[in-house]
Each structure stands twice: as C-alpha cells, then as structure tokens.
Amino acid sequence: MNLRLANHRLSGSATSSLARNYMFNISMLFTHHSLELLGKICAHPVIGCSIRNLHLVCGRVSPEHIRDLIDSWKEIGIDPEEGVEDVRTARRKIYECMDRSNREFQLEMSGEAAGLLMNAFKSLKLHNTPVTLDISEREIPEGGDIWLPRRPTIGEGHAL
C-alpha cells in the first residue's frame, strides 16, 4: 500500500497486488452510499477485475412488527423511559433497525438501488471475470472482507 502511494512507477503493480490480495471479497450494506462506492470500485480498471465475491446485506425488519413489539412493551407495563438501561438500549436499537429498514425499502422502491447495482454489474461485465453474488439478511464476518460503509455519522470513523 505504501509503495502505491510513494512511487508513481510502482503504483500500477502495487495497486494490482493490493487488489489481488485484499480487494477480492467485498461486503456491503444495502445503503445508497455503499452501492455508490461499489459502482466506483467495480469500475476501477485494476481493482474491479480482482473482485470475486460480493456479499450484499439487506436485513429488513418489518416496521409493523417493531411497532407491535413496542406496543406490547407498553401493555405489560415496561416503560423504556423509566425502565432499566438495557430496555432503553434495546428500544434504541430497535428504532435504529426500523430506520435502516425504512431507508432500504425507500431505496428499493424508488428504483435507485436497481440502477446503482446495474452500474456496478455492467462494470464487472466489462472486466470479464466470474463473480459470486451473495445476498443475505445477516452480516457474515470473514477475514479479508472489505466492508463498504454506510455514510458515517458524526463521531464515527471512516472505514475503507
């Protein structure tokens, strides 16, 4: 990686070595930012042809199911505002999942996700290399994965 940045003459071979060794297995969340990054990576002349596996995580939680769960908490007398810290944390995580699910649903329904994926796949087709696509609702942590981040929020570091 350092050779790639330090010496212009070695940049090409260092980039292809980096791509072959580290950029072959890419995982991403089903977010606008991740799908845009995927398109750019797939279009790259050196890195794009090194991609062998794509893992798309689109974990959806039904907003209706979450609302029912919160209502059932209220029915049994659990008030997250006055309750235990674990209950507040669980409630926050549930709302985060619901927000992510809503954003993914809107991205899909608008047709924008299909367009972004189509651009990435067109770029991969130009490289004429076989690629395995895996779509699941769970993140699969494996060594060597490059995770394309969702857009970082304030206070978060940048991945990749």
pLDDT digits (tens, 9 = 90+) for 58-95: 766 666 666 777 677 666 665 555 556 666 777 787 77
Distance (Å, whole) CA 22 – CA 4: 14
Residue 115 — very low, low, confident or very high, per pLDDT cuts 50/70/90? Answer: very high
Domain-located, residue 78: yes
Domain-located, residue 160: no
By residue range, what is the domain housing residue 80? 2-148
Distance (Å, whole) CA 139 – CA 125: 26
Query: What pLDDT score was predicted for residue 143?
Result: 40
Q: Model-level pTM?
A: 0.59
Domain-located, residue 159: no
Q: Which residue is listed with tokens 């930012």?
A: 33
Radius of gyration in angstroms for the set of CA atoms belonging to the chain, rounded to a whole number: 20
Domain-located, residue 138: yes
Looking at every residue in the chain, the average pLDDT score rounds to 71
Domain-located, residue 71: yes
CA geometry: angle at 23 spanning 120 and 101, to 5°?
55
Total domains in the chain come to 1
